[in-house]
Amino acid sequence: MKIGVIGYGKRIETVIHEVMKADTGCQVAAIVDIRKDAIKDQLEAKGWDHVHYYDTPEQMLETEQLDGAMIGTRCNLHATMGAKVLQHNLPLYIEKPVATNFEDLLLLKSSYEASTSPAVVSFPLRVTSIVELVKEIVQSGKIGTVEHVQAINNVPYGRVYFQSWYRNEEETGGLFLQKATHDLDYIQAILGQRPVSVCAMTSKQIFKGTKSAGLKCVDCEDNRTCLESTVSAKEPLDPTWQYCCYAEDTGNEDSGSALFRYESGMHMSYTQNFFIRRGAAARGARFMGYKGTVDFDFYSGQVKVHMHHTGRVETYELEAGDNHFGGDEKLASNFAAIMRGTASSISTLDDGLMSALMCMKAQESARTGTFQNLSW
């Protein structure tokens, strides 16, 4: 199975290795990347001397006989690169968010509708063991019909969104599209209901300031006393986390919340935070029916079922797993099987489009102070 890669970044490199572990007959045959010379040196050093390198996706897609394509560019290019692959009707693996603005989202949607490509969106949380267990409990009817959902994502490594390239909202599309897109997708996978409207609010209370634009921690006079300093950090940090998070050019809100209404009349609340640390980390949700409530947390690996009328509590302990709690492995295996024609997608582009729509409408609601209909 020959794979073409558009944008060979760290994230897609991880997924590629999972694909090759799942199916040893898969290999990267071609790469398009503005850093192609450096990538060529890196890959040839580990024996990958069979890879062809191209300047544009058009050149690669028209020249190579590929069995699939994977997109690992910066977020603002996902949709346009995805549309190019879809024109060739190739199996597609696309990173989230699938688009960062509404125009690109519509482009990707129309390209998908005109294509025969099967697609896998990088939503590993929906296929983790813990989400699949919660989905099984909900669909069993044990807690009754879900009538309310409360979901949270308190991110202990939130500084990445203010000290690395993620601080540029033009490239990321904002933090609903960066983080909430994962959580909204796994909630959709569990609920199986259609959301119809949203209202949302964001705040930027911590990571703001008047330090000069582009200032790096190493050049700041406060780098020995600042709690966010990369210079005096006690734990090793990614070397790309180098910018001042109190500079005037730091983008992104540092907390956000959204309320979604569904066709059935029920609603779901979601909130995310990017300045908490350590043990305050939490990521999970509560699904509440009249008979009972099921809640879980990714960090603890624990699922609890509270029966409302018997006082019984069931507790499940699950191993977390590596790489998005084990979800990357399942998506990679699924994509390899799709290229061989033996499986259908477990994380479709329809799922990616809906999650992106929910995030974009939440952003628009927060910006305008209005309710937004979740329509195309």
**Which of the 8 DSSP states describes residue 304?**
E
CA 288, 97, 90, 120 dihedral sign is: negative
Would you state the pLDDT for residue 208? Answer: 94
Would you state the pLDDT for residue 19? Answer: 97
Q: Between β-strands 68-71 and 267-273, what pairing exists: parallel, antiparallel or unpaired?
A: unpaired
Q: What pLDDT, in 10s, does the model give residues 53-96? A: 999 999 999 999 999 999 999 999 999 999 999 999 999 999 99
CA distance 21 to 4: 17
Q: How far is CA 291 from the centre of its chain?
A: 32
Would you state the pLDDT for residue 232? Answer: 80
Q: Say if domain 2-124+327-347 classifies as CATH 3.40.50.720.
A: yes
CA distance 173 to 157: 19
Would you state the pLDDT for residue 68? Answer: 98
State the pLDDT confidence band at 205, using cuts at 50, 70 and 90.
Answer: very high
Would you state the pLDDT for residue 368? Answer: 98
Would you state the pLDDT for residue 333? Answer: 97
For the chain, give the mean pLDDT: 95
Residue type, 266: M
Instruction: Give the lowest-confidence range in 175-179, 258-262, 318-322.
Output: 318-322
The domains of the chain are located at 2-124+327-347, 126-322+356-373
Name the pTM for this structure. 0.95
Residue 32 CB contacts under 8 Å (≥ 6 apart), including other chains: 4, 5, 6, 7, 53, 54, 55, 56, 57, 59, 60
Q: Which long-range contacts (CB under 8 A, 24 or more apart) does 311-319 make?
A: 316/133, 318/129, 318/130, 318/133, 319/129
The predicted model gives 233-256 an average pLDDT of 88
The stretches of 180-247 forming alpha helices (DSSP H) are 181-191
Q: What pLDDT, in 10s, does the model give residues 14-47? A: 999 999 999 999 999 999 999 999 999 999 999 9
CA distances from 216 to 55, 213, 222, 251 (A): 31, 9, 11, 15
The predicted model gives 326-350 an average pLDDT of 96
Q: Is there a contact between 298 and 325 (Cβ–Cβ < 8 Å)?
A: yes
Q: Which CATH number fits domain 126-322+356-373: 3.30.1490.20, 3.90.1150.10, 3.30.360.10, 1.10.287.610?
A: 3.30.360.10
